Amino acid sequence: MSSANIVDMLIVEDTSQDLTLALRALGKANLISRIMSARDGEEAIEFIFCEGAFSDRKIEDGPKVVLLDLKLPKIDGLEVLRRMRTDSRTKHIPVVILTSSAQQRDILGSYSLGANSYVVKPVNSEEFAQAVRTLGMYWLTLNQPPPPRV
């Protein structure tokens, strides 16, 4: 694996303010070094599956975890999750749904498709930042990820 291309976390978030807060929170926790962001579901899929603008990547270079919003332009988060779970190379990558939706159909749909966790975004920006830091610390330092599949 080329360490320059390894990604620990992919944040799929279309709201600029939430993405900025998340990156700042991860930076304060010293977890920012190998983070990638995608602004819509299509970009996320291209990144995860090393297609389009990301065709020079190798799928085994990560991410180790995906923070995935549900309400995304082009392709929604549930479809991103569905595609990840139906591909043997990506089906074991942990996916944390981080969204503003507390609707039961979104929660059940996410878990039915294989989400590892579902977190409703706190409205308060400091609480949101703390939630992202906590998620980052757990998934990037405590969790034992599955080995890459190729």
pLDDT digits (tens, 9 = 90+) for 83-118: 999 999 999 999 999 999 999 999 999 999 999 999
Asked if residue 122 lies in contact with residue 85, where contact means CB atoms within 8 angstroms, the answer is no
**pLDDT over 70 (residue 150):** no
pLDDT attached to residue 1: 42
Name, in order, each residue with C-beta under 8 angstroms of 92's C-beta and a sequence gap of 6 or more: 146, 149
Domain boundaries, the chain: 9-140
**Using CA atoms, how far apart are residues 126 and 24, in angstroms rounded to an integer?**
11
**pLDDT-based confidence at residue 146 (cuts at 50, 70, 90):** confident
User: Which is it for the CA torsion 118, 74, 39, 34, positive or negative?
Assistant: positive
Looking at residue 149, what is its pLDDT? 60
* pLDDT band (50, 70, 90) for residue 145: confident
Give residue 148's pLDDT.
64
90 token code pair? 């990506």
pLDDT digits (tens, 9 = 90+) for 41-80: 999 999 999 999 999 999 888 899 999 999 999 999 999 9
Angle at alpha carbon of residue 92, lines to 100 and 139, rounded to 5°? 55
Query: Phi/psi of residue 18, each to 5°?
Result: -65, -40
Residues in CB range of 91: below 8 A, 6 or more apart: 84, 85, 114, 149
How much is the pLDDT for 33? 73
Q: What is the mean pLDDT of residues 24-35?
A: 84
User: Which tokens sit at 69?
Assistant: 């919003």
Residues 97/11, Cβ–Cβ less than 8 Å: no
Instruction: Specify the amino acid at residue 122.
Output: P
The domain 9-140 having CATH identifier 3.40.1190.10: the answer here is: no
pTM, entire model = 0.91
